[in-house]
Structure 1
Amino acid sequence: MSSQVRLRLLPRARCLFDEPIKVKVEGLRSRQVVTMRARLTDDKGVVFSSSATYRADGSGEVDLNRDPSLGGTYVGVEPMGLLWSMRAQKSHKKFQKATSLKPQLVNFSVHEGEGRILAEETNERILIGDGVSRVPVQEGNISGVLFTPPGGGLFPAVLDILTFKSETRASLLANKGFVVLAISLVEGKFESFEHYPRFHLDHFKEAIDFLKQQPKVDSKGVGIIAKSKGADIALSLATFVPGIKAAVSINGCSANVGIPLYYKKQQILSPLQYDFSKLITSESGTNIVKYIFEDPLAEKNKGSLIPIEQAKTHLLLAAGEDDHNFDSKRYMDQMVERLKRHGKENFESVSYPGAGHLLQPPYKPFCPSCAHGLFPFIGSWGGEPKAHAAAEVHLWKKIQEFFRTHLSCDAAQTKAKL
């Protein structure tokens, strides 16, 4: 490494996972061309990396907030491009951060052309800020992890329903002043819809009641957030179960997908059926699922439609317009039309051109394909990396504002400090 060259991560090398950083290089030759690289290893041991070519200014500096990448895994001025453009060294792998206990370490380095390292620095991206508690929960039918902000409370509460096991979203919301219980859609590995004769809203209501009973929680009402199949469960909870004040549906369906839904020992929604003959498989082995599902508005499927006009909950509906898993924009438009037809104003909707299915908290490596999770094959998720990354930044801020607005509690403004 060159003693003249310095790589700086500002305002500090340690930050929350969802915080942007400024990457600067100093001490280069005037107009020197260098390669910037980033590299990390996820919880499953999969290595992700990115690279970009930059030209220093007349003072020998590179500033990723100002200067364009001339080539590499992204081009143009993209301050966080080295993070979202990372690619897995193995095909069809999704970045996995299953637990929040350990920070994600990202190595940034600057190279002379494609050669020797001139400088490097490690970015420590933490998921739990100082004072946030993490407690595993095994109680009744509840199996999950409870995150609680520091301080005396009272705090608003959110139930995070997961299709892919991850504590990232829940732990980051706790840093923002929310008590969050993260639970999986199903326990263990989800093999296929056929293995589950029915879902019970009662199990999720049990988790909601548990949240309300926590000593630091404002018990007047809770929020729910979920994506994909979990989103139609969230919308069904908002419709049929009282005490839910705000629900976020990300790339969800307007109907109950795949599995009969029960509440209080009675079936309340039939399943929206699907036809695998309409699956589109690429030469690389990825599968586009969105076309296999029947039309929710067809007469025979009316029993699967979620009657969200009955919900007294505030709703935030979000859709990626390039989703390969669900026809999410169309489903969202169906729900918006239904709500408007019934004179409802308790909702917001937002869609993102170029965004795919896996809309998550920002600054993760973009994932085009990986094991599906609900079906036994490799799923194609859609999305264009740059547009998808921008959508994640916007949606993450919107989710926080939405919950702060509708989960009325002064402590919602509390933020844990590093």
Structure 2
Amino acid sequence: MSLQVRLRLLPSARCLFDEAVHVKVAGLRSEQVVTLRARTTDERGTVFHSAAVYRADGSGELDLRRDAALCGTYEGVEPMGLLWSMRAAVPFKYFHWTKAPSPLVVRFSVHDGVDVEEEERGGAVAEATNERVLIGEGVIREVVDLGKCNGVLFTPPGEGPFPGVLDVSPFASEKRASLLANKGFVVLALAVFYGKPTDVKYVELDRFQQALRFLQQHAKVGSDGLGVIGRCKGGDIALSLASFVPGVRAVVWINACSANIGVPLHYRGQEVLSSLTLDLSKIIPTPDGANIVEYGAGDPDSEENRTSLIPIEKATADLLLLASEDGLNFDCRNYMESMAARLRRAGKQNVETVCYPRAGHHLEPPYGPHCYSGVHGFLRIPVLWGGEPRAHAHAEVLAWKKVEDFFRNRLSCPLANTKAKL
């Protein structure tokens, strides 16, 4: 490796997962053409990579906040493009980084000339390693026994009181919960499904109510109501909690359905919501082997699905509904607009809606690889999750800030300003 060329990640090579890094290169020849690459491996062993060609300025320097990529997995001025444009070396792979204790390690490298192929053709003239951390200094992670299942609790540093948030995911994931804890929230992460969803006959809302009670009784959680956040199946569980269970103050719904989907929902020993009808014959296969499943779900507002529609008119919580326009999993924008209209007809003003053009289904905390396709967690077939990578990446930055501000404004605690840092 050359001693003259220097690749720097500022302000530090170690950062929180949802923080941007400033990539700079120095020591190149005047107007030298180079390829910058990023490469990482997720927790399931899948390799993700990106590459972009740049031209140095007259002083032999590159600054990704200033300079435009000429070609590669992205183009133009995109300071974090090397991260969000990473894609799997094999098709239909979702980026799995769900366990909070381990940092994601990303290798950045600089190569002479144009080298945007999947495999590097030449050695690097400079490289640096970025450690992207989910748990900041002072945040405590602990597994808690909730009776029929375990949750993972993240507690920020300090005495509190802090706002409490229940984070509901279709399958076990700690990423969003740990990152919210870094921002001064006590967050309990809970999955809807453990094991195979096909083995589940119904979901009990009581399990999530028990999780809310756990948060309410936690010594560091303030008494001014709780928040719930969920995407996909977690989103309809979040709405159901606000509709049936007291004590919920604020709900964030992300790219989910307005009805109960998958399996029936039980509460206090009886079925309260049936499952939305599905018509698998309406799934559209694509030439690359994936499928578009958006049209396989029935109309939640139709008479035949009336018993599956979540009665959000009963909710007293404030609702933040975030929908991607190009999700390809659900017709989320239509669901969002229909729910907002129902609430207005009921005389309620407790909803805020945001739609992100050209964004896909997996609207996650920012700076992870964009997931355009993958294997569906319930149907077990390759599907398209949609989204134009650049627009999706920008939407994730905006949505993540929106989530933090919403919870901070709705779940105010006088001392809840402690944030974790590295």
1:197 CA displacement = 2.5
Matching residue of 1:189: 196
* 2:385 counterpart letter in structure 1: W
Matching residue of 2:90: 90
Taking the aligned partners of 2:98 and 2:195, their CA distance within structure 1 comes to 14
Taking the aligned partners of 1:407 and 1:82, their CA distance within structure 2 comes to 35
Aligned residues between the structures: 415
Matching residue of 1:148: 155
Q: Tell me the SS of whatever aligns to 2:168.
A: strand
1:218 pairs with 201, 222, 236, which one?
Answer: 222
Compute the TM-score of the two structures, normalised by the length of structure 2. Answer: 0.96
> Deviations for 1:170-206, whole angstroms, at most 9, x for unmatched residues?
110010001111111112232x3xx333221111101
1:137 CA displacement = 1.5
Structure 2: gaps of 5 or more residues: 116-121
Q: Tell me the SS of whatever aligns to 1:356.
A: coil
Change (3 A) 1:168 1:307: same
Maintained 8 Å contact 2:171/2:194: no
* 2:153 counterpart letter in structure 1: L
1:243 pairs with 247, 250, 254, which one?
Answer: 247
Matching residue of 1:16: 16
1:284 CA displacement = 2.3
Q: How does 1:8-157 map to 2 (within 5 A)?
A: 8-113=8-113, 114=115, 115-157=122-164
Taking the aligned partners of 1:367 and 1:139, their CA distance within structure 2 comes to 32
Determine if the alignment matches structure 1 residue 208 to structure 2 residue 215.
Answer: no
* 1:116 counterpart letter in structure 2: G
Taking the aligned partners of 2:201 and 2:129, their CA distance within structure 1 comes to 48
1:127 CA displacement = 0.6
Maintained 8 Å contact 1:176/1:412: no
* 1:79 counterpart letter in structure 2: P
Taking the aligned partners of 2:43 and 2:77, their CA distance within structure 1 comes to 30
Determine if the alignment matches structure 1 residue 165 to structure 2 residue 172.
Answer: yes
2:396 pairs with 392, 395, 403, which one?
Answer: 392
Q: Tell me the SS of whatever aligns to 1:390.
A: helix
1:307 CA displacement = 1.6
1:260 CA displacement = 1.7
1:414 CA displacement = 1.7
Q: Tell me the SS of whatever aligns to 1:246.
A: strand
* 2:277 counterpart letter in structure 1: Q
Taking the aligned partners of 1:288 and 1:151, their CA distance within structure 2 comes to 46
> Deviations for 1:11-42, whole angstroms, at most 9, x for unmatched residues?
11110000001000011111111100001111
1:289 CA displacement = 1.1
1:109 CA displacement = 0.7
Q: How does 1:250-265 map to 2 (within 5 A)?
A: 250-265=254-269
Determine if the alignment matches structure 1 residue 342 to structure 2 residue 349.
Answer: no
Matching residue of 2:5: 5
List, as ranges, runs of 4+ consecutive aligned residues in structure 1 with deviation greater than 6 Å.
none
Determine if the alignment matches structure 1 residue 310 to structure 2 residue 317.
Answer: no
Matching residue of 1:407: 411
Aligned-residue Cα RMSD (Å) equals: 1.1
Matching residue of 2:295: 291
Maintained 8 Å contact 1:51/1:73: yes
Taking the aligned partners of 2:268 and 2:172, their CA distance within structure 1 comes to 27
Structure 1: gaps of 5 or more residues: none
